[in-house]
Amino acid sequence: MNKKQWRVGIFLFDEVEVLDFAGPFEVFSVTTIEDGEKPFLVETVSEKGNLINARNGLKVQPDYSFDNMPSFDILIIPGGLGAREREIHNDNVIKWIAAQMPNVEIMTSVCTGALLLAKAGLLKGKKCTTHWASLDRLEREFPEVDVQQDVKFVDAGNIVTSGGISAGINMSFHIVQRLLGSKTAQKTARRMEYDLVI
């Protein structure tokens, strides 16, 4: 088994959907391998490193800003009202996402985070998905993207996108299985009391 530790970065912003980031955070954080080692180091980053007001008033203090963050192996771009209404128009964020692509092993999105990946030009010609309520928007605004419906997630190699909110948990378990095998994924799901179908 590969004993490498993957550094997982989760992008945070105002009005981010809570389960979009908290679901993957939980999956990767509680994953352990046979010797009890944690194969994932999970950290958060926002544009300026300031306190984030997530959906419905949850306040979260990110670990890093764009200026002082480390390099990540896996980057998670969540969605929510802030993604589809604000960050998609934030050129600094879109350029940052595009700039991370050559450096990460796996770029991911949850929910309408796919809109940010598409705006950054990362989904051209690729199969992807997003929250069911934004599938039409993704197709309409980014016709070069191959939008998939009625799926929890789409693995396009170095980019993995998921449907809305809780689907990010399914996607995270898929990545755990992909990197560490189904046994580790199932053990993590049991710890979380999550009904995982692989």
CATH fold for the domain made of 6-192: Rossmann fold (3.40.50)
| Alpha-carbon span 136 to 77, nearest angstrom | 20
For the chain, which residues make up each domain, given as ranges? 6-192
Q: How many CB atoms lie within 10 A of CB 29?
A: 14
CB-based contact 20:79 (threshold 8 Å): yes
Which pLDDT does position 1 carry in this prediction? 42
Which pLDDT does position 184 carry in this prediction? 94
For the cut 80, the answer to whether the pLDDT of residue 2 exceeds it is no
Q: How far is CA 142 from the centre of its chain?
A: 20
Confidence of residue 198 (pLDDT cuts 50, 70, 90): low
Q: What is the pLDDT of residues 121-164, one digit of tens each?
A: 999 999 999 999 999 999 999 999 999 999 999 999 999 999 99
| Alpha-carbon span 24 to 26, nearest angstrom | 5
The letter for the amino acid at 55 is R
Supply the mean pLDDT for the chain. Answer: 95
Which pLDDT does position 49 carry in this prediction? 97
Q: What is the pLDDT of residues 25-75, one digit of tens each?
A: 999 999 999 888 999 999 999 999 999 999 999 999 999 999 999 999 999
Which pLDDT does position 34 carry in this prediction? 81
Which pLDDT does position 102 carry in this prediction? 97
Closest C-alpha to 171, from 161, 185, 157: 161
Q: What is the pLDDT of residues 69-107, one digit of tens each?
A: 999 999 999 999 999 999 999 999 999 999 999 999 999
Specify the pTM.
0.95
For the cut 70, the answer to whether the pLDDT of residue 3 exceeds it is no
Which pLDDT does position 74 carry in this prediction? 98
